[in-house]
Amino acid sequence: MTHKSNLYSPGRRQFLAAAATLAIPTIVRAQAAKPIELGLIRNPVSGLIEVASKKGWFREAGAAINTTLFTGAAGPKIIQAMGGGSLGLSSVSATAAILALAGEAIPLRILSISTDPVPLFMLLGGPSVANVPSLAGKRVSAPQGTGLQYFLARVLAKHGMTMKDIEYVNLPAGDAQAAFLAGRIDAVVPALIGALMIQRIKPDTRRLFVHTDFTKGAGLTKPFINYDVFVAPQGALDAQRAAMVAFLGAYHDRAVPYLRDPVTTEEAIREINAYVNTEQRTPTDIAIMRELMTASGFFDRPQTKALMSDADFVEGLEDQVKFFMDSGQLKSSASMKPAVVSGLL
């Protein structure tokens, strides 16, 4: 290309380029050059991230990302990858983050809320189970060391019971759901999609307890809080803070509104459903995905800031720590407040 003006002579161009480079702080240049190593699970949050990535919203905001897909019970695998330094950011359940923090596995930081799955948490029973108190002595399952087990314990406490009052059966979520459908256990706290599928397959299933029941009736009326959260190791946050700020901004300002806007909701759900069903032997149909996405909470930037600054947010985290300590699954505790990072939204 030939330039016709001395304004763009090689010497002038080199000077301007050097001046522009000097004007950008060193840490910002480094962050722009290095993508965030982002862990994904084939779930709705990752589906929304994938949609936003394909539309270029993270790139436009200034956040380059490399993604790694984790399968199965992926929370612990993601935490392990973060501890090994190969992963810088991911969305995990608050429970996975809490167990890593309280166990002092790595210096993890909670950056934001990716979604609220709690509206889909429920305790399901067979037609012969009338209510929660009637579960005394009966076989009940929820995967140990998960938010589902914590939910079960809180449900029992609401009715003046403990885990000792039931015959607790520790099974992985998929196995527990199959056992319930086969009649081998009396009640189950299933995974989110599993809860919807069970009620479709077995219409006489009873919803013994749902999340709104915590604030009703006798006993404790404290709401149940257990968000999925974006987390990063402190080292990754220090090295790529500006890029993570850009990522979170694009997620809450563009991806979430795209999902929630009535004009684009259906398109977003179809795209997320296609992502979740990639390579699945038993694909989730669009009706199940629609119910999952519309019942779960997805929050824009102002809503997320308000939720994270509310005292209930940290109290909910520390209540889980207490449960896992009392149940012997944690040997040491830690304050959750220092792990919650403000100022990124």
CATH code for position 209: 3.40.190.10
DSSP code at position 8: G
Nearest to 90 by CA among 99, 79, 103: 79
Residue range(s) defining the domain that contains residue 136? 119-215
Which residues make beta-bridge pairs with 110? 231, 340
Look at residues 152, 186, 215 and tell me which one is the last residue of a structural domain.
Answer: 215
331 and 267 housed in the same domain = yes
**Residue among 307, 298, 286 nearest 254 (CA):** 298
**Does residue 112 sit in the same domain as residue 128?**
no
Which helix (H) or strand (E) segment holds residue 89: the answer is strand 89-93
Question: Is 192 a domain residue?
Answer: yes
Encode burial over 270-305: b for 16+ CB neighbours within 10 A, e otherwise: ebbbebbbeeeeeebeeebbbbbbeebbbbbbeebb
Within a domain: 220: no
Task: Tell which residue, 44, 39, 97, has the closest CA to residue 71.
Answer: 39
| SS3 state at 342 | coil
* pLDDT given for residue 339 in this prediction: 94
- 28 — phi, psi (to 5°)? -70, -40
| Residues 139, 284 share a domain | no
Residue 17 lies in a domain: no
Residue 150 and residue 101 share a domain? no
> Which one, of 345, 339, 110, 314, lies nearest residue 251 by Cα?
345
Q: Quick one: 112 and 231 in the same domain?
A: yes
Contact of 229 with 110, CB cutoff 8 Å? yes
> Could you report the per-residue pLDDT of 89-141, keeping only the tens digit for each?
999 999 999 988 887 768 899 999 999 999 999 999 999 999 999 999 999 99
285 located within any domain: yes
Domain end (from 154, 187, 215):
215
CA distance 65 to 88: 10
Task: Please state, as a whole number, how many other Cβ atoms lie within 10 Å of the Cβ of residue 31.
Answer: 22
In a domain, 10, yes or no: no
Amino acid at site 319? D
Q: What is the pTM of this model?
A: 0.86
End-to-end CA distance of the chain: 43
Sign (positive/negative) of CA torsion 136, 139, 145, 150? negative
Selection from 46, 72, 175, 119 nearest residue 292 by Cα: 119
pLDDT tens series, the chain, 345 aa: 333 333 333 343 343 334 333 343 433 443 445 899 999 988 899 999 999 999 999 999 999 999 999 876 678 889 999 999 999 999 999 999 998 888 776 889 999 999 999 999 999 999 999 999 999 999 999 999 999 999 999 999 999 999 999 999 999 999 999 999 999 999 999 999 899 999 999 999 999 999 999 999 887 888 999 999 999 999 999 999 999 999 999 999 999 999 999 999 999 999 999 998 886 666 778 999 999 999 999 999 999 999 999 999 999 999 999 999 999 988 877 789 999 999 999
Packed helices 147-158 and 94-102: angle between N→C axes, nearest 10 degrees: 100
Residues 258 and 109 in one domain: yes
* Alpha carbons 104 and 98: distance in angstroms, whole number: 10
| Rounded Cα gap, residues 142 and 114, in angstroms | 23
- Cβ–Cβ under 8 Å, residues 116 and 208: no
The count of structural domains within the chain is: 2
For residue 38, with 0-12 CB atoms within 10 Å meaning exposed, 13-18 middle and 19 or more buried, which class applies? buried
The CA-atom distances, in angstroms, between 92 and each of 44, 117, 303 are 12, 11, 19
Whether residues 205 and 191 share a domain: the answer is yes
Angle of helix 311-326 relative to helix 147-158, nearest 10 degrees, comes to 90
**One domain for residues 334 and 231:** yes
**Beta strands across the sheet bearing 228-233:** 65-70, 36-41, 89-93, 228-233, 108-115
6 domain residue, yes or no: no
Q: Is residue 138 a part of any domain in this protein?
A: yes
Co-location of 101 and 133 in the same domain = no
Cα distances (Å, whole numbers) of residue 319 to 19, 102, 111, 152, 335 = 53, 12, 19, 14, 11
Q: Give the separation between CA 124 and CA 306, rounded to whole angstroms.
A: 32
Pair (241, 316) in one structural domain: yes
172 and 36 in a single domain? The answer is: no
Last residue of a domain, one of 162, 182, 215: 215
Is residue 1 a part of any domain in this protein?
A: no
Judge if 231 and 335 occupy the same domain: yes
